[in-house]
Amino acid sequence: MLLIIGLGNPGSEHAHQRHNIGWMALDRIHQRNRFSPWKARFQGITSDGQLGGTKCLLLKPTTYYNESGRAAAEALRFHKLTPSDVVVFHDELALEPSKIRMKSGGGSAGNNGIKSLEAHLGADFRRVRIGIGHPGHRDMVHGYVLHNVPKTDLVWLDPALDALADHAALLAEGRDDLYMNKVTLAIRAAGAPFDQED
């Protein structure tokens, strides 16, 4: 079983903010892959389904972003999973908008949601890092991440969310490199204004 977690904040006022891109990704996976209706569970909202023949649970923690690890740990314990069974979608200040990268393990880079997950699960989970750029100074970060995604970013974000959802079966197969390649090509094809190469 694969546990797929999206980081974000509950409430309609947060729905379109940069900090909720993880939730946006899970919503798109849910819409395009015939998952069950959302229901409250594990201090979050969950949905069951399959990707590439692998049973998956989508989890949107409702503990607020910085306490996401509490919900994740509850789901892990119930299903007797390990951190290697977890994929997390989240916004990433260290990547420019339209850049999307994956990694397994590593540090939090100051992301409090990831810090919470690491505190509760350990660091050995997979991360889909969705670039939102950095405002330029750390004192500006709080307001920046809680600001709505600008319309100029929708040229890459909407096709990226589609690609993240449409190729999600590759995550269940552990083919992370191919997954990132497919998503990157979709963003390029949509005319994203940023170079996808590092």
How far apart (Å, rounded) are the C-alpha atoms in residues 111 and 97?
A: 16
Q: Which of 14, 19, 137, 142 is catalytic?
A: 19
Question: DSSP class of residue 52?
Answer: T
Q: Which regions of the chain does DSSP assign to beta strands (E)?
A: 2-6, 39-41, 44-51, 54-61, 86-92, 100-104, 126-131
Question: DSSP class of residue 132?
Answer: -
Q: Which residue has the tokens 């390649």?
A: 181
Cβ distance 126 to 86 under 8 Å? yes
Cβ distance 100 to 18 under 8 Å? no
Dihedral sign (CA 4, 70, 128, 76): negative
19 carries an active-site annotation: yes
Dihedral sign (CA 96, 134, 153, 142): positive
How far apart (Å, rounded) are the C-alpha atoms in residues 126 and 28?
A: 19
Among all residues, which ones are annotated catalytic?
Answer: 19
